[in-house]
Amino acid sequence: MLAGLLALQHADSAFPSGSFAFSNGIEGLAAVDPNFGADGLIRAVSAILHHRWAGSERVALTLAHRAAGDLAQLAEIDHAIEAATLAETMRQGSRRNGASLLVTHVRLGTPGAAELRSALTAGTVLGHLPVVQGVLWRGLGLDEVAAAQMSGYQTVAGLVTAAIRLGGVGAIEAQRIVGAVLPVLAETLAEPVESPTRPDAIRLESFTPLVEIAAARHARADLRLFAN
């Protein structure tokens, strides 16, 4: 019972994770398409879940959860994320969001948070968001299934919330969209994550070219609501 309640607490948008500053490509997509609305958002969220989150962020989070604080292994996962993320703004966003989340957990006294922050300060790890989530949520006693569910839901909610703030969809329509993509999330969560045979053999797969291009264009925009 407590684990379920903890998962709700830490996946809640009210939790101070720092994610409000990042659209993860949605603002760039909206800028490219003036008619970007509900249909475009469903396609974008589904594509991001299938082609970025499922094969990259979810895998990295799960491997970080399994690493149990092994800093050398966490560093390898971090570098794999860095290599799999093409757009610089997306790489920076992941690291910045990871650092923000880590600061919150240090202040809360989450087991493992202080050690991970020391490693980040020393440059031992890069602190990408999925790695930080995996370590911290394990520290809270949450298993890897719950951690992946939390990450997936936060991904969906974050993308949809960004679209609301940009004026692309309304609050009611947003909930319809969340309901429409939850089966996509459930489908990806059902896929197993295999541990690599060697720490340096981590394979992350991410291919969302339209989102990456939009994010690169967004980085040069004069006016931006979000960091990426």
What string of H, E and C letters represents the secondary structure of 31-42?
A: HHCCCCCHHHHH
Model's pTM, two decimal places? 0.95
Structure-token pair, residue 21: 């500053």
Q: Tell me the C-alpha distance between 36 and 169, whole Å.
A: 9
Helix then strand count (H, E) for the chain reads: 11, 0
pLDDT at residue 218, rounded to an integer:
86
Residue stretches of the chain with pLDDT short of 70: none
Does residue 3 fall inside a structural domain? Answer: no
Does residue 17 fall inside a structural domain? Answer: no
Does residue 10 fall inside a structural domain? Answer: no
pLDDT digits (tens, 9 = 90+) for 106-127: 999 999 999 999 999 999 999 9
pLDDT at residue 222, rounded to an integer:
81
CATH number at 107 reads 1.10.4190.10
Does residue 225 fall inside a structural domain? Answer: no
Q: Tell me the C-alpha distance between 211 and 190, whole Å.
A: 25
pLDDT at residue 106, rounded to an integer:
98
Domain range for 102 is 35-215
Does residue 19 fall inside a structural domain? Answer: no
Report how many domains make up the chain.
1
pLDDT at residue 168, rounded to an integer:
94
Q: Which residues contact 91 (CB under 8 A, 6 or more apart)?
A: 81, 82, 85
Does residue 223 fall inside a structural domain? Answer: no
Does residue 128 fall inside a structural domain? Answer: yes
Would you mind telling me the total number of residues written for the chain in this entry? 228
Does residue 15 fall inside a structural domain? Answer: no
Q: Tell me the C-alpha distance between 73 and 67, whole Å.
A: 6
